[in-house]
Structure 1
Amino acid sequence: MWRIASLVVLIILNFPSFADEVHFTGAYSADQLRGVRAGYRVTNLPVELPAWIGSPKLHVEAALNHWQDSNNTEDNITAFTISPILSWHIAGAQRPLFLEAGIGGSYFDKTQISNRRLSTQFQFEDRISLSWQYNRSSTARIALGYTHYSNADIKRPNNGLDFFWLSWALPF
């Protein structure tokens, strides 16, 4: 699990022009699954979204996720995800708080972990989080969020996966 995340981190840190921000995440589910996520986000997109949806900023985020069964560490699953993320500034000027949401796609290396059967390697990634710039002198943020993976009943069974997570993001 840590080897895969370490490889992604090394690639991202050696080629920072790919992204504006890196993030590192720890995740846990009620199904006794735990995992890590390492990824990057492109934030400087030349897109202006309409005011009627609150004028959020649009980002694109890609990541590598790896989870394992807490009761059987040899049972694990890995996924590559890419998602557009909408980010709304909801409070604070010097230490802002953001509401973020997105729906993207994921490709899993297999279709089962523990008692969760996903049926397809393609899954949608639905997520929502609160992200906070905790220090005025740094643009780094922490985020607390929830993510759901599901194939939207493309094929059954569609048990899906649900994770609560804590993330640290470091802009360049």
Structure 2
Amino acid sequence: MGLAWGEAASRWELDRGINKLHPDSWRFTLGKPQLYQWPLTDEWRIELDLEANLYHWDDPFRDRSISVISAVPLFKAITSSEDLDYYLGLGIGVAAMDSDIWMDRQLGSHLQFEDRVELGLRYYRHQFSLGLSHFSNADIADINHGVNVYQIGYSYFF
């Protein structure tokens, strides 16, 4: 189970150099870590995690929020030192949004794909991460502005 907080900046904000006072997105994750493992060398291994995510993005343009659910298989290249695991995670999944408009972005479809890159470390049952998720409809619609979400996260494994 994990929580992440971050920013989902729009072009409008970036063009005007607006600095926010608080993060505008969060993610709640339920996942199955270490679904599969493949040893590469004595120091490196690949793990497959499967995640179900619920995102929440604030939308000050329309004075509402956007909800997103996604499922992402995340492949992690992992190396260990002492009691710490360091990893680079990469994944591509599918997402459903309750709106195809967010701030100044025309997303073109309620169906999106989530590409994720994540750097992190695990210490026993605790995981800390920095990540970037990109949401896009992969040109299945005429309009495809996409959204990038930068987040810092914490997970606890039961």
Quickly name the TM-score band, shorter chain normalised. Answer: 0.7 to 0.9
Please give the per-residue CA displacement for 1:71-96, whole angstroms capped at 9, x wherever unaligned: 44723211110010101113523122
The number of residues matched between the two structures is 145
- The yes-or-no answer on 1:65 pairing with 2:55 is yes
Structure-2 change in CA distance of 1:119 and 1:72 (3 Å): closer
- CA separation of 1:96 and 1:55: change in aligned 2, threshold 3 A: closer
Letter in 2 for 1:26: W
Counterpart among 3, 20, 38 of residue 28 in structure 2: 38
Instruction: Give the Cα–Cα distance (whole angstroms) in 2 for the partners of residues 109 and 40 of structure 1.
Output: 20
Measured in 2, the distance between the counterparts of 1:100 and 1:140 equals: 16
Q: Measure the CA separation in 2 of the matches of 1:61 and 1:121.
A: 20
Give the Å deviation of 1:67: 0.2
Matched, 1:103 2:112: no
Of all paired residues, the percent bearing the same amino acid is 26
Amino acid at match of 2:97: F
Given that residues 66 and 78 in structure 1 are in contact (C-alpha distance below 8 angstroms), is that contact kept between their aligned partners in structure 2? Answer: yes
Larger RCO, structure (CA 8 Å, separation 6 or more)? 2
**Equivalent position amino acid for 2:7 in 1:** Y
- Larger helix proportion, structure 1 or 2? 1
Query: Hey, what's the Cα distance between the residues in 2 that align with 1:48 and 1:171?
Result: 17
4+ residue segments displaced more than 3 Å = 47-52
> Is the contact made by 1:147 and 1:163 (CA closer than 8 Å) also made in structure 2?
yes
Q: Is the CA contact 1:152–1:158 (under 8 Å) kept in the aligned structure 2?
A: yes
1:124 aligns with 2:113: yes
For 1:6-155, list aligned pairs within 5 A. Answer: 22-31=1-10, 32=13, 34-45=24-35, 47-49=36-38, 51=40, 55-69=45-59, 71-72=60-61, 74-133=63-122, 135=123, 138-155=124-141
Unmatched 5+ residue regions in structure 1? Answer: 1-21
Distance 2:58 2:111 in 1: 19
Separation (CA, whole Å) in 1 of partners of 2:38 and 2:85: 20
Q: Tell me by how many angstroms 1:37 deviates.
A: 0.8
Q: Which residue of 1 aligns with 2:153?
A: 167
Q: What is the TM-score when the length of structure 2 is the normalising length?
A: 0.82
Bigger proportion of residues as strand:
2
Structure 2 gap segments, 5+ residues each: 14-22
